[in-house]
Structure 1
């Protein structure tokens, strides 16, 4: 494609030189016109001389007619050459316009082969090698920004109804094991992933690390409710049927909010109750 554009540029330059510059073809015709006009002026002078002589009764009529014919012939030759010059100039202009349109078309077609990102950023991955064929459906590269990173979180089906836009996220990143960061829920995708049985949500950092990289992983806890002085127990101490094991046997409890690690106890036991971790069967 680049070779075609280069050929079109060379062709345009040559035709522009012929059309706007010193064209040898136009110069040749202009020289012919100058020569023909000189001859026409000579023939006109000769014809006028024969006319004066004839008016004085001197000379032969055949000589007058031959002088007139030579003059008119030279006139026609000048007119024909002037038409030829104009036609040649028009032809050169048309060829120049065609060459300019061809170059414009070639550049337009080249733009069809150029792939441009709709955002500013960096290329994180290239899935194709130079020279490989790609189609409009091929995912051949990953491009992302370098500024505001998006946090993607997968929420279990049973928890998605508790999540709202603007909820606070407490985030632990594997790359920064001793740091805790906060974020906000910005988007909740309504379609469930049938493979993972989760819903995708996106968040943005309230306080971000000084350095971030595409693909960092970690654990996120979304704060969906807050309780002051809440009584909680570890999640793995809660048995099926909302039962807990105590020194006095199993007791049923009423639970409130919960996360992966802890469960809120609304009633059934209090802070003085000693609970036991269930034995695995």
Structure 2
């Protein structure tokens, strides 16, 4: 009876050994890459904010509309500011230098009159001085002529100063009123929110009648045709990322398809919360239709080799050992690896058979 038991046991062991999975290494290509995920953004995408507080009076656009740089998006109620601008316009017209040319002409006339009087009084004083030298006339008459001449001379100088002061005052008043008008015009323009770029209105967060504040975005606007991929890369992998590296992209909106892209920018500061860096990429050939905030997964390709020996990663023991079909353990040297396979540099050939290690 024991003889049959031994034979059965040996047969059982042999059957178990036969059932153990075996494979031979394959010759194929392998790509070493870094996983990343992120969102698609429209190029130059930005949030439009208001610089003033107020009630939205008009919404000029709808979501999906195409706009040009400078096109109005929102108008905010600004009755008070409009009155301020009108007042500034009145002040600017009143203070305009050309409109006050009459005052300067009057001042010039005063200068001419003072000059004429000064010259006349100077002539009379000279004549009186000549007569006095001939001992004609009195000293009192000479002194009176001299006093009148000096007075008219001072009046002439005063007229010139008054003209110059008036001109400076008018220049200043004109410039000040124009600057005030510019300020009020700028403030009035702040009540009209305009697009900073040509593109598409992707979202509107406010409607007519709602309050617009300086802290809440009113709209999201971005490029209609150019998109970027914003990826989060772990801090442990970031040193391997370089500009120009190829990226294989899988989009939730295009299941089963892979799109090619390339790294264009590495933001140099780490997000302390996620311990990751923002890496940007652009499509080599973009999908037919894209929208901002579509999620994606990506593989940033670091290296690729063709026609190399590969084995499944689960056939490797302690990162450096495999089990041959005869049960012998063999140390190997490995190279590139992906999620499923690993490159064998030396230790076995493609003709060897390997056993899958027991789990």
User: Residues 226 and 99 of structure 1: is their aligned pair in 2 closer, same or farther, counting only changes over 3 Å?
Assistant: closer
Give the match's secondary structure for 2:305.
coil
Partner of 1:265: 344
TM-score under structure 2 length normalisation: 0.46
CA distance in 1 between counterparts of 2:223 and 2:238 reads 28
Q: Does the 8 Å contact 2:267/2:278 carry over to 1?
A: yes
332, 337, 341: which one pairs with 1:253? 332
- 2:261 is matched with 183
Aligned partner of residue 109 in structure 1, secondary structure? helix
Question: Quick one: which of 241, 261, 270 aligns to 1:192?
Answer: 270
Contact 1:4 1:106 in 2 (8 A): no
Higher relative contact order (CA 8 A, sep 6+): 2
Tell me which residue corresponds to 1:150.
228
Residue 8 (structure 1) shift: 4.4
**Correspondent of 2:309 among 222, 231, 250:** 231
Gap regions ≥5 residues in structure 2: 1-51, 53-77, 97-171
TM-score by structure 1 length? 0.56
Distance in 2 between the 1:144 and 1:98 partners?
A: 40
State how far apart, in whole Å, the 1-side matches of 2:185 and 2:176 are: 14
Shift of 1:14: 7.5
Structure 1: 5+ residue stretches without partners: 21-93
SS for the counterpart of 2:304 is coil
1:7 counterpart = 2:86: no
The answer to whether the 8 Å contact 2:323/2:330 transfers is yes
1:226-259 Cα offsets, whole Å, 9 max, x none, are 3231122334444443344554255433221223
Q: Residue 281 of structure 2 aligns with which residue?
A: 203
Contact map agreement 1:175 1:216 (CA 8 A) in 2: yes
Instruction: Report how many residues are paired.
Output: 209
User: Which has the larger share of strand?
Assistant: 2
Structure 1 residues 253 and 161: alpha-carbon distance in aligned structure 2, compared to 1, 3 A threshold: farther
Q: Distance in 2 between matches of 1:113 and 1:7?
A: 13
- Residue aligned with 1:104, SS: helix
C-alpha separation between the residues in 2 aligned to 1:183 and 1:192?
A: 23
